[in-house]
Structure 1
Amino acid sequence: MFFEHGLSKDSQQRMNLQSLGNKLLRYRDQHLQTIEEVAAATDIDPIRLTRIEQGALEPTGDEVLILADYYRCDFTFLISNATVAPFEETETLYRAHGRSLTKEDRSAIQEFLYLCETEQYLTEQLYGVPQQFDFRPAGRIYKRHAEEAAKAFRQKMGHSDREVPRNIYAEFRSVGVHVFRRRLSSSKISGLFILHPTAGKCVLINHSEDIYRQRFSAAHEMAHAIFDSSEGVNVSYVNEDDLRETRANRFASCYLLPPAVLKHLPSPALWDEADTHRWANEFRVSCNALGVALVTAGLVDKPTSARIRGYRVPREAKIDPELPETLTDQQRIRKSMLLSRGLSDHYVSLCLEAYSRQIISLGRLSEALLCGHGELSSMASLYGRTIHGY
């Protein structure tokens, strides 16, 4: 993925054609694409592509690179004899949840994993391996697991009992969890967690959701990263209810709405709509999440909770930590579009820094940022950087 283009003769000679063809076929199957669709997108003749997938024809070095770019994978994996594939987890995902994922969503997930791999590589090259957050739950009470883990993670982040976390995405990334907000067409999916064989813990948040819902979903998926990573894959559906999802929701609530802070709020029973909006914005959560947290803490009765949950914070009043108020309207629109593709400030800055330190080439920078060479200068300018030579 991060090597210069061009395969050596030795690399080509080492190619196991049957293995290569099988990997390409599995990638195509995952994307629900026909030979004709891949051929049209890559400009490789469909008959030739079919024979390559069958292991009956050796591709050129350029064809391997084109197909690797198309499927967002490392070309060295395609030509190796490796049997542990980066797509093993996605195959598990599609077997269990394929009906909920469109062809476009499958491509989005593959691109998301590519971003995770890129982020992992660049982070290690620039800053070394991040310190992980390890938590071992005791006992069988899931609610207690969540509460204790949220408290431990807040302590690790240096928060006091009465401090509300702000940029939670930065906090999760600081312990090696890759968090990308990427638009999915399925409104039923709030987020998913994948344990990637090389990138590690990867979280995708559906950027189609409300901003504050995304924040809660991120904390929810962080809980799956803490408790359920051994299962490899987890998809969180809106309003899904089982013990693991309940635990993840409880973790998110305790992390975003610290119980010690809730206890010191003015009496929620007296709140009107404006009061509810104020406190929902203070915690950066929806009124629904706030109402649930208050009734769970025993601070309001169910009718009051239902009233609070029924309010809605206006979209224009909500605060997104990755879209600061200092942006112009044009910059905000542009950055919001990039976020919906998964390109966070953190990730873009990481790529630009890697290029400035000559860790990756200009071509690799373009690929990592999912754009053409002609777009690099304007993108760098949006983040206060310049590209040498432009």
Structure 2
Amino acid sequence: MNLQALGDKLHRYRIQLQRTVDEVAAFTAINVERLNNIEKGLLEPTGDEVLILADYYRCDFKFFISNEQVAPFEQTETLYRAHGREFSKEDRSAIQEFLYLCETEEFLTQEIHGAASTFAYTPRGNYFLAHAESAAKEFRRQMGHTDREVPRDIYSEFRSVGVHVFRRKLDNSKISGIFVMHPVAGKCILVNYNEDVYRQRFSAAHEMAHCIFDSEEGASVTIPGDKDIREVRANRFASCYLMPPETLRLLSNPAIWSEEETQKWANNFRVSCDALGIALNTAKRTDLETSRRIRGYRVTRQAKIDPELPESLTTQQRFRKAALLERGLSDHYVKLCLDAHSQGIISLGRLAEALLCGYGELAILASLYGRTVHGY
């Protein structure tokens, strides 16, 4: 074990997460003097201490003890250098958990299902908006959609081409989404669960554009209103994917839509009235005045549809699953973890780690999915 390299990794993670040595000591029960010496490379930690610290930093323990094991270390450092002031201490921990979930999901997916299909698009020319429109059309085609069809569960569609999508509550309401090219898991999207449910949907599609076009650029943060050309292209992709111009041209004249009819069409597309008004104007279906009127309407919160919280759920189930989503635990991910445990791929302890919970919560969580946990 290279003690200097290990200490450096631990120190850098602690700084990234804005933790003091005292805070780490209080959580891990490893005393301050010992932690300082481990970080300085003067002391070799025990095996248990390595596991405890890996759990604290939500990182594979092999990363700390091996010079070959990789983690999204450089990616997060780049992210915080560029946008550090946007992230609270809590948000940094949330992002670290998100990356851990992505790596776990990738491992379990490979073990159970093998390699996922992919989506590849090669831009032609230098017109970014044309790239967005063409890529959206091609992705819709690969997903089997006709011009008249609206994607219902976009999260499932993105996962079907190997993209890891997690929704997680972030404190900073200005952050809509984050894209990270994980060195192990690949393309990863985090959507701020604090946002309106239809805004989350648009944000996920926006981040999907970064997966397609900007994976070589490293991690990125999406803040509404950013006029960077890549952000504009990502918005255009999201709009064309969710509301293809071909479909918008088939609609009745928006100039005579009532508020109720506008809300109906926005809900059919699973987008906000604001996004619909912009898309209609871009497609030359409205003048600026009509677009502004449409953008001023709102779909009621009760009418909005979340594919990961279907109407078939009871009130209690909906509440409990929403609480899981807030922590980043999607139906897809939870079921994958439960399947992996039932097939003997991961132990009970590893299952608890993967689901960010203690042993006592496992049986309750599994029962929410009509499952039992063996060995508990």
Q: Shorter-normalised TM-score: what interval?
A: over 0.9
Are 1:43 and 2:25 an aligned pair?
A: no
Q: What residue number does 2:213 align with?
A: 227
Give the alignment of 1:291-302 within 5 angstroms: 291-302=277-288
Q: How many residues align?
A: 376
The amino acid across from 2:36 in the alignment is T
Give the alignment of 1:137-156 within 5 angstroms: 137-156=123-142
Are 1:354 and 2:340 an aligned pair?
A: yes
Q: Give the drift of 1:83.
A: 7.6
- Cα distance in 1, alignment partners of residues 70 and 333 from structure 2: 26
Q: Is the 8 A contact 2:59 2:71 kept in 1?
A: no
The alignment partner of 1:189 has SS state of: coil
Give the alignment partner of residue 263 of structure 2, picking from 248, 254, 277. 277
Are 1:308 and 2:301 an aligned pair?
A: no
The Cα offsets for residues 314-350 of structure 1, whole Å up to 9 and x where unpaired, read as 1111000000001111111111110011100000000
- Cα distance in 2, alignment partners of residues 201 and 84 from structure 1: 15
- Cα distance in 2, alignment partners of residues 258 and 23 from structure 1: 46
Q: What residue number does 2:374 align with?
A: 388
- Cα distance in 1, alignment partners of residues 58 and 319 from structure 2: 26
Q: What residue number does 1:59 align with?
A: 45
Give the alignment partner of residue 325 of structure 2, picking from 339, 345, 363. 339
- Cα distance in 2, alignment partners of residues 344 and 84 from structure 1: 25
Give the alignment partner of residue 244 of structure 1, picking from 215, 230, 235. 230
Q: Is the 8 A contact 1:163 1:258 kept in 2?
A: no
Q: Give the drift of 1:82.
A: 3.1
TM-score by length of 2: 0.99
Q: What residue number does 1:3 align with?
A: none
- Cα distance in 1, alignment partners of residues 202 and 92 from structure 2: 23
The alignment partner of 1:355 has SS state of: helix
Are 1:24 and 2:32 an aligned pair?
A: no
- Cα distance in 2, alignment partners of residues 384 and 158 from structure 1: 31
Residues 74-83 or 33-42, more deviating: 74-83
The Cα offsets for residues 347-388 of structure 1, whole Å up to 9 and x where unpaired, read as 000000000100000100000000111111111111121112
TM-score by length of 1: 0.95
The amino acid across from 2:57 in the alignment is Y
Give the alignment partner of residue 70 of structure 1, picking from 56, 61, 76. 56
Q: Give the drift of 1:85.
A: 4.2
Q: What residue number does 1:195 align with?
A: 181
Q: Is the 8 A contact 1:257 1:293 kept in 2?
A: yes
Q: Give the drift of 1:84.
A: 4.9
Q: Give the drift of 1:145.
A: 0.1
Give the alignment partner of residue 172 of structure 2, picking from 157, 182, 186. 186
- Cα distance in 2, alignment partners of residues 237 and 24 from structure 1: 30
- Cα distance in 2, alignment partners of residues 286 and 145 from structure 1: 24
Give the alignment partner of residue 111 of structure 1, picking from 97, 110, 128. 97
Identify unmatched segments of 5+ residues in structure 1: 1-14
Q: Give the drift of 1:241.
A: 1.3
Q: Give the drift of 1:259.
A: 1.4
Q: Give the drift of 1:86.
A: 2.5
- Cα distance in 2, alignment partners of residues 49 and 69 from structure 1: 15
Identify unmatched segments of 5+ residues in structure 2: none
Moved over 6 A (4+): none
Q: What residue number does 1:267 align with?
A: 253
